[in-house]
Amino acid sequence: MTKQVLDSGPRDEQVRDSVAHLWETVREVGGDMDLLLGVLEEVRSSLAGRQPRGGGLTEDQAAFLVESGAMTADQLEEAEASVARGDLAELERRTRLEAVTRSLSTGEVAELLGIDVSRVRHRKAKDGLYAFPVGTKLRFPTWQFTDAPEQRVLPGLTAVVRAIPDDMRAPSVLGVMTTPQEDLLIDGAQVTPPEWLASGGDPQAVVDILEGSLQS
């Protein structure tokens, strides 16, 4: 079917050029073919689950709003209006795509940590690393890694990974991990969970934040 689309009209060259440009952009930011495939899979998945204009909230979209803290129950009516305009769907697609682009493939993680891919999968299975599926592949968010050669993985990560709710989606996890938290202070300034952990902060403070997300 894909071949028919690419060979069926004057736009086939534009499609091939667009994919080529996307691949070039992925390479410019240090990504590999797995990242390109991940981005394309997210686009495909988003289109497959796209809701017709004017419809109500789907269960996934409602869960996304609650998990990300983007709305309260009192704002549901306003959110429904946003969905009707397509605003929520666009936000969800954008944040899911961001989660993919700010992640590494299994092979990239293996290279970063100096281990083979089987050890990466083993560490993930033992909650030593956090990953989420994109199609049939795993993606490992970059927030859990450091630039320190002597310790490439955040200290206390295992406790944090085990505290991430099973039904918490990757964009919501990314939102928590990249947002300065009021309960995490260094020299009086709010910091993100990775900054807190990298500075030697108690992992339990991050665990408490994640457990609190279950009640929000």
Query: What pLDDT does 3 receive?
Result: 47
Query: In total, how many domains does the chain have?
Result: 1
- For residue 95, the one-letter residue type is T
Q: Does a structural domain hold residue 54?
A: yes
Query: What pLDDT does 14 receive?
Result: 55
Query: What pLDDT does 10 receive?
Result: 57
Query: What pLDDT does 186 receive?
Result: 95
Among 167, 118, 112, 116, CA closest to 141:
112
Query: What pLDDT does 187 receive?
Result: 95
Q: Does a structural domain hold residue 116?
A: no
Q: Tell me the residue range of the domain where 83 lies.
A: 2-101
Q: Does a structural domain hold residue 110?
A: no
Q: Does a structural domain hold residue 208?
A: no
Give the relative orientation of helices 12-28 and 33-48 as an angle to the nearest 10 degrees: 130
Query: What pLDDT does 213 receive?
Result: 73
3-state secondary structure the chain: CHHHHHHCCCCHHHHHHHHHHHHHHHHHCCCCHHHHHHHHHHHHHHHHCCCCCCCCCCHHHHHHHHHHCCCCHHHHHHHHHHHHHCHHHHHHHHHHHHHHHCEECHHHHHHHHCCCHHHHHHHHHCCCCCCEEECCEEEEEHHHECCCCCCCECCCHHHHHHHCCCCCCHHHHHHHHCCCEEEEEECCEEECHHHHHHCCCCHHHHHHHHHHHCCC
Q: How far apart are CA 179 and CA 167, in angstroms?
A: 20
Query: What pLDDT does 60 receive?
Result: 66
- Tokens representing 93? 């697609």
Q: Does a structural domain hold residue 200?
A: no
Neighbours of 141 (CB within 10 A): 21
Half-sphere exposure of 120 (CA within 13 A, CB side): 20
Among 65, 54, 67, CA closest to 88:
65
pTM over 0.85? The answer is: no
Query: What pLDDT does 53 receive?
Result: 39
Report the Cα 204 to chain-centroid distance in Å. 22
Q: How far apart are CA 87 and CA 107, in angstroms?
A: 35
Query: What pLDDT does 39 receive?
Result: 61
Per-residue pLDDT of the chain (216 residues; tens, 9 = 90+): 444 444 555 556 655 655 665 666 656 556 666 666 666 665 555 545 544 434 455 666 666 655 555 555 566 556 556 555 544 455 556 677 788 888 999 999 999 999 999 999 999 999 999 999 988 889 999 999 999 888 999 999 999 999 999 888 888 899 899 999 999 999 999 999 999 999 999 999 999 999 887 665
Q: Does a structural domain hold residue 72?
A: yes
Q: Does a structural domain hold residue 165?
A: no
Q: Does a structural domain hold residue 86?
A: yes
Query: What pLDDT does 52 receive?
Result: 43
Among 16, 99, 86, CA closest to 50:
86
